[in-house]
Chain A
């Protein structure tokens, strides 16, 4: 079933703040097998000019869909989750995510399109600190296989 195009342009309420912890960054770095000391050693991170340990570039995937997630399960959208795969991912960084950050995500559905027999949906998430400092923007494109068939 085709996805409901009325959802394009919808913006969702900001998420509750996500507090970035050293422990979570270390766990994520271990999971991807990256031994960079800036991800686990506060002294090394501070020597490099950061306030605290920083996170790997793909870390924002952990929290980026905390706003807007409800859109994907809205029956009016018509998304069959069993057929969903991750199609594309992009991050634009203002600065690295840093331990101690309290981040708020605001999601917008920017695009729904057909590609062959598939339906593609892109969610943009603007990530900023609770103080209002922009940190990064994420673009998550999911593919509903056979959705346009």
Chain B
């Protein structure tokens, strides 16, 4: 499969519309099982507070996965992602209620490279906090 986004139709500075991703306690329990990361700060409120956290927090990799989904949904082919990196700059606090938390991801085409590749800069926020920094993906367009 190839990317559905064409290199020639993309310009530096082009924004990719923001998307909201919801995270509830159930998602973190599922992610713990799927990833094998059973750190209690991601599902046990009593433990999280004992180690000084405000509440249960999402796995950083759960947030990175949402940023990845944002990129693959845009480019059309997950196999078009050639490089993907983030720094975890703030935590996503997930209260034990029906709303949970929301991670909002947006992106901008920062640079056009050779071989029809582009650098996508990503911003991920939860509430007022920027939860990822230095988040970027290099994707192969068609």
Contacts and interface: CB of A to CB of B under 8 A. Distances in A.
Interface of A: 24, 27-28, 30-34, 36, 38-39, 48-50, 54, 56-58, 61-62, 82, 85-93, 95-96, 139
Interface string B20-32: 0110000100110
24 contacts: A30-B30, A31-B30, A31-B31, A32-B34, A32-B62, A32-B65, A33-B21, A33-B69, A34-B69, A36-B69, A36-B73, A36-B78, A48-B77, A50-B1, A54-B78, A62-B35, A88-B88, A88-B134, A89-B60, A89-B85, A90-B83, A90-B85, A93-B83, A95-B79
Given A28-B35, A30-B34, A90-B84, A61 B78 contact: no
A50 B2 CA distance: 11
Given A36-B72, A38-B77, A82-B51, 20 more contacts: A31-B35, A32-B65, A33-B27, A33-B66, A34-B69, A36-B69, A38-B1, A56-B68, A57-B68, A57-B84, A58-B65, A58-B68, A61-B61, A86-B61, A88-B85, A88-B87, A90-B84, A95-B79, A96-B78, A139-B85
Given A28-B34, A56-B78, A62-B36, A34 B65 contact: yes
Contacts, number: 100
A31 B34 CA distance: 7
Interface bin, chain B: 35 or more
A92 B84 CA distance: 7
Contacts of B48: none
B65 A56 contact: yes
